[in-house]
Chains A and B, each alone.
Chain A
């Protein structure tokens, strides 16, 4: 009997509830139950009876069309099958790691640049001064080589993962519909991911909070340029790891939330995010340009990194204000 009840509930799960629909559902259930009882009386097994009742049920769309209630799934956007959703979740997860690695590589590039600049200066002081004249020029170019290699690797990784994820951009723009069983699958995955998500975010936040302390500690204890450079480099590496954790965990959770359409991923919210993301696309590359120009022209590597936290805080405030304005 439960099988029949579940069967009906499933068929009606996407249908808006009104009195007519409720009555119809009850009538259908009574009907099927009566038929089932009779088949049992005639000597059919329980499974046989259920099979016969369900096979004679017919097509629910025929009935809904007559009632003038359409399945909401039929009207709204794109329908995703179970395989498509699995493919989407798998690839988002996979390429989010590459995005995280890309960002990490770029931060590592800056760290290496700072470090090698100071190291070379020291080396220069002790050894190279006595050697040929051209070494000076060489030494100022040397730190740039690992920097550009890492930077290129980082940007390349970002571009490739961006291209690979382009295919799935529609879940940010279009309404997506999934079947009940797929929805259950996504919900289960989201539930089992919840704990890892929280742990990863907390770890990321802790890295961010600890990173300036590491910088200050190393810089104070050593009291040298080299110490300062190591401190800044480790700060950048820690932030790089934190960003990786944020990106990977955030994107996985975001995929589930988008598929389930919970929280901030309603269509209106997408518009707000658009404003912020357009500004971000301008502000952050500009920050990098200013950072590089300032550092190279003024040779102010020891302080120019401060640009990133400042812009970061300002940008966070801006995003918050945009959200507030659009909410009202």
Chain B
């Protein structure tokens, strides 16, 4: 399991990636993260919803109510064009970050 401190700067990127194709909702996103990372990263509920709130404030995502299923109305999120641009930016930033950090990583100790 990855510590949440290490990955903090990329929570937004992870969520935006999962919204690239289709709109989704809280539980589905957290489940997808868990499955894609083979349970190496489980995003806490509060982290997920803080990210939703932050991304929505910055207009990178929009929320809307889905159809009611078993009496429950889910809040769905969809990515905006601004969000896609931001996602691109974050990906480029990651390449640089990775390159920089790797210069200091020694595996043959």
Contact = CB atoms under 8 A, between A and B. Distances in A.
B72 A27 contact: no
B40 interface: no
Nearest to A23: B75
Nearest to B29: A31
A62 B26 contact: no
B75 A56 contact: no
A63 B74 contact: no
B27 A30 contact: yes
A66 B54 contact: yes
Interface string A38-75: 10000000000000000011111011011100000000
Given A30-B72, A66-B53, A67-B53, A57 B26 contact: no
**Interface size grouping (class) on chain B:** 10 to 19
B88 interface: no
Nearest to B46: A58
A190 interface: no
Nearest to B74: A30
A59 B45 CA distance: 8
A31 B45 contact: yes
A60 B45 CA distance: 9
A240 B44 CA distance: 63
Chain B interface, >50% SS class: helix
Nearest to A63: B46
Contact of B49 (A35, A56, A63): A63
Given A30-B27, A35-B27, 20 more contacts: A23-B75, A24-B49, A27-B26, A27-B74, A28-B45, A28-B49, A30-B26, A31-B30, A31-B45, A32-B45, A35-B30, A57-B46, A58-B45, A58-B47, A59-B44, A62-B46, A62-B50, A63-B49, A63-B53, A66-B54
Interface of A: 23-24, 27-28, 30-32, 34-35, 38, 56-60, 62-63, 65-67
Interface of B: 26-27, 30-31, 42, 44-47, 49-50, 53-54, 72, 74-75
22 contacts: A24-B49, A24-B53, A27-B26, A27-B74, A28-B26, A28-B45, A30-B27, A31-B26, A32-B45, A34-B27, A35-B31, A38-B31, A56-B42, A57-B44, A57-B46, A58-B44, A58-B45, A60-B46, A62-B46, A63-B46, A66-B54, A67-B53
